[in-house]
Structure formats: C-alpha cells, structure tokens
Amino acid sequence: MIKEYDTIAAIATSVSNAGIGKIRVSGSDAIRILDEIFEPYTPRYGNGYWPSHKVYFGNVVDEGEIIDECIVLVMKAPNSYTREDVVEFDCHGGVHVVYQVLSLILRHGARAAEPGEFTKRGFLNGRIDLSQAEAVMQLIESKNEASRQNSIRQIKGNIAEKIRPVREQILYEIAHIESALDDPEHISLDGYGDHLLALVQDWIDQVEKMLSTYDDGRFITEGIRTCIVGKPNAGKSSFLNVLLGEERAIVTEVAGTTRDTLEESVTIDGITLNIIDTAGIRDTEDTVEKIGVERARKEIEHADLVLFLIDMADGIQEEDIHIFKEIKDKKKIILLNKMDIGETFSMESLKDYVEDDTPCITISAKYRQGIDLFTKELKKMMFHGTIDEKQDFYLTNARHKNALEETLGSLRMVRGSIIDQMPEDFFTIDLMNAYEMLGSILGEAVGEDLIEEIFSKFCTGK
C-alpha cells in the first residue's frame, strides 16, 4: 500500500545510453539507504555523517560487488526540493547500470515514486504553492523562450504575489462584517457600503487585468493554432516549407496535391505556431479530395489564426471569394503569394472582401520573400506588437482562468448588492466564494482528487 511519506526513488533523467543517469531519492530513509549502498572514497564520510549540500565521490556497492562509480549529492531537510532528506545519485548513463542502482535502492527500503510525486511533496510540505507546482510542468513543456521565462516567473511565485494581497483584504472585510453583525453596539457599519464598494472595484480591476493576459499567455505556452488555407496550387505547401525550413510538404505544379491536413509546429522569432496545412478549398467530385476539403473547413472553425494564401498570378477567383466568406469572422492574415510573377495584381480587387484592419502581405514562398513582414504582422496581431518577456504576469493555466472568472462573478455580485443597498450579510456569501476561488489557485482550498489529477500529469522522477 502506498503511503504518503514513504521514502521514494525514481530515475530523473531520460532512460537511454547517455553520459549521466540521475536517480533521485527522497524521504526519511534516504540517508540510511545511502549508508547501506554507497562507499565514499573519502573515509571520514558515512555512517550517518553526510554534511548537507555537498558532493561525494565513490562506489555504489551491492554485498561487496561494485555496481557503479558515481557522484552523490546530499540535500537534507528542510533545504531540498521536497523539504525532505534528498539524495541524488549521478551514475554512468547506461540503461542497465541505472536500473541496477535503482533496483538496489528499492531493495533497501524505498518504493518507486508516482508521477510528479517529488513536486507533490514540495507542495504538501509547504515549499511551493499549487500554482508554482503547475508551473514546473509548464517549464518542462515550454516550447519557446517566452514560455520558459513566464514559467520561471510563476515558479518564483508571481501568481501568489498578485493573489495573496487581494485574498487577505477580502478575508479582513469578511471578518469585519461578521464582527459588526455579532456586536452592532461596538462596531458600526454606517457608511461601510461606500468603503467596501471602492475596495471591491479595485479587486475587480485587478482580476480583470489578470484575465486580460490569458489569450497572450495561452498563445505563448501552447502556441497559436494556425490554419493555412487557399485554393489549390496557391502555394500553401510551399509557404509551410518556408516556415519549417525544410521540404516537409509535397509541392508540385499539379493542383490538389494536398489531400489531407498536415500538422507541424514551428517557432518563429519567439512565436510558436501549431500549423495545419489544409487541402485546397474548392468544389470537387474526387471523393478523397472532398474529404480533405471538409477537414480543412473544420480546421478553420477551431483555428486561432487563419493564413489565407491568394495566387497573385491568377487574381481573385471564385474559389477565393468562397474562402473569404468562410473566414469572415476569423482572425486572419492575407498572404498575396507569387509576387515574382504577379505584377499585374490589383490591390483594389481586395477591398470588397477584406476589412480595413486585416493585414495583407505580399510574399513569394518560392523565393522566401516577405517573411519578415509576415512575422512583424503576426506579433502585432497576436501579441499587441511584442512579446514582453519581462512582463511579470501572463495567465497561462485554464484552471486558474476558470477560478478567476468565478472570482470576478462573485465580486460583481457584491458590487451589485452594495449598489442595491442590500443587507451586509448578503456581501459575505459572495466575498467568501471569491476568497475560496482565489485560494483554489494556490492550493489552499482544493480537494485531494484535484491534487491527484494535477500531479498525475507530471513525468516520473519530477
């Protein structure tokens, strides 16, 4: 049976033939296990004497047989990742060697760690809050520099820095109202509504500001779901190959080469695009191509951004007009392709189909021209002109977003109750809900099931 405070062990590096394989051990028996299986080359160490935050060199031994020569790091509680005694073995990276050492550790009393259990212990032992723990996983999965930087800031606690002061103020006001209701002779609520209204409005402003960063935060963390559309042979696959820097999609002079969707991910100047190259959209009797066209239409529905390629050499065709109608309400960039042969294209022909604020960029996918302008417009459209890697807060977690939206709804209810001059005890119900919703972000008001769900998504050894 798994116990919450068993001593745990896991391989913390990729299981492959590499230079180093790291095994992490955490718990009250970590030092005892170290005593039993490790013989340091410096004889004054051992037998329980392992000064913390030092590195030791020696052999891992199983009943007198040397298993591996390795380096050991000792970090004693509470100054460790889990706030427990932690021992890390840096072994030679052969798969067999690492598993031999791990097996030996398990035989001496540790158990195999569950996914995310080391980080979970850091949370349960109070070293980090739940938002910081979730940021660890976001750091591991970061796709670009902006995502990495934002994850680091969240690990350092910038979410808590914004939420805790609001939460403390809400609790103070709840306590004041409750005290006044219990002891009206000594605590007056005269004029209190105006005082609370100003506070509530300030809290609403702060929560709205946090929520306003979510779209940019999601794009930074997950990437922008980007759909490339156009009629057959407009240059969609060529443009995809330019962005990827390789011949990933098949390019021919034959219209309709792409029959299905093709998905790739690429980071351009710090922006990650999850690109879907689609079949050319047109009416067709070809059964396979028809399926591809339907899939293209579905991808348009779910895209954050549509890149519409128009063949300048052909001008605006009937097929292009149909596509304009399908993407009318989508965030989009118009790419006028084949500038090298489309000198006669009239920009006036676009005015009936393109909104004034829709970017229209002239490119040549074949000769890789106009890509810098495309990147500039992409940043302007999706990130208000720039990705500010120094911004202290980008909301990136859907769970946090939902909790903040619940908080905002409760605070607006309080504001409405004050304006409608409702009794003060009406305020406390919604204030308490806002307090609890903010606490759920930090892990101070969540159930065990949610905690298990969050940490189950971690890799083993983290």
Cα 120 to Cα 34, 123, 132, 141, 298, distances in angstroms: 23, 5, 11, 18, 39
pLDDT tens figures, 48-82: 999 999 999 999 999 999 999 999 999 999 999 99
Q: With bands split at pLDDT 50, 70 and 90, how would you rate the model's confidence at 440?
A: very high
Provide the pLDDT for residue 283.
58
CB 233 within 8 A of CB 253: yes
Task: Tell me the one-letter amino acid at 432.
Answer: M
Going across the sheet that includes 224-229, the strands are 262-268, 271-277, 224-229, 305-311, 332-337, 360-362
| Mean pLDDT (whole number) for 365-376 | 87
pLDDT at residue 428 above 50?
Answer: yes
Q: CA 400 to CA 398: how far, in whole Å?
A: 5
Using a pLDDT cut of 70, give the percent of the chain over it: 90
**57's tokens:** 């060199």
If one compares 13 and 278, the residue with the highest pLDDT of the two is: 13
Q: CA 256 to CA 113: how far, in whole Å?
A: 51
Q: Among 90-99, 214-223, 261-270, 301-310, name the one with the lowest average pLDDT.
A: 261-270
pLDDT tens figures, 254-290: 344 444 567 888 888 778 899 988 766 665 556 666 7
Provide the pLDDT for residue 261.
62
Strands 8-11 and 18-26: antiparallel
Tell me the average pLDDT of the chain. Answer: 86
In angstroms, the first-to-last Cα distance of the chain is 21
**What backbone phi and psi angles, to 5 degrees, belong to 33?**
-60, -40
Provide the pLDDT for residue 2.
54
**What backbone phi and psi angles, to 5 degrees, belong to 411?**
-65, -35
Tell me which DSSP letter residue 459 carries. Answer: P
Provide the pLDDT for residue 253.
44
What fold, for 134-213+395-456? Four Helix Bundle (Hemerythrin (Met), subunit A) (1.20.120)
Sequence-ordered list of residues with C-beta below 8 angstroms from that of 333, at least 6 positions apart, any chain: 305, 306, 307, 308, 358, 359, 360, 361, 374, 377, 378, 381
Sequence-ordered list of residues with C-beta below 8 angstroms from that of 230, at least 6 positions apart, any chain: 236, 280, 281, 308, 309, 310, 311, 320, 323, 337
Provide the pLDDT for residue 250.
41
pLDDT at residue 415 above 90?
Answer: yes
Using a pLDDT cut of 90, give the percent of the chain over it: 45
pLDDT tens figures, 232-251: 888 888 888 888 876 554 44
**398's tokens:** 């859907």
pLDDT tens figures, 189-203: 888 889 999 999 999
CB 366 within 8 A of CB 235: yes
Cα 239 to Cα 280, 365, 425, distances in angstroms: 13, 5, 62
pLDDT tens figures, 180-191: 888 887 888 888
**125's tokens:** 């032992």
Q: CA 416 to CA 412: how far, in whole Å?
A: 6
**What backbone phi and psi angles, to 5 degrees, belong to 138?**
-65, -35
The CATH superfamily holding the domain 8-113 is Probable tRNA modification gtpase trme; domain 1 (3.30.1360.120)
Q: With bands split at pLDDT 50, 70 and 90, how would you rate the model's confidence at 252?
A: very low
Domain ranges, ordered by start, for the chain: 8-113, 134-213+395-456, 222-383
Provide the pLDDT for residue 1.
47
Q: With bands split at pLDDT 50, 70 and 90, how would you rate the model's confidence at 44?
A: very high
How many helices (H) and strands (E) in the chain? 15, 13
Q: Which of 457, 411, 436 is nearest to 200 (CA)?
A: 411
Provide the pLDDT for residue 289.
60
Q: How many CB atoms lie within 10 A of CB 371?
A: 17
Distance of CA 386 to the CA centre of its chain: 19
CATH class held by domain 222-383: alpha beta
Rg (CA), the chain: 29
Q: How many CB atoms lie within 10 A of CB 377?
A: 17
Q: CA 179 to CA 182: how far, in whole Å?
A: 5
pLDDT tens figures, 132-150: 999 998 888 888 888 888 8
Q: CA 248 to CA 214: how far, in whole Å?
A: 32
Q: Is 65 exposed, middle or buried, given 0-12, 13-18 or 19+ CB atoms closer than 10 A?
A: exposed
**452's tokens:** 């298990």
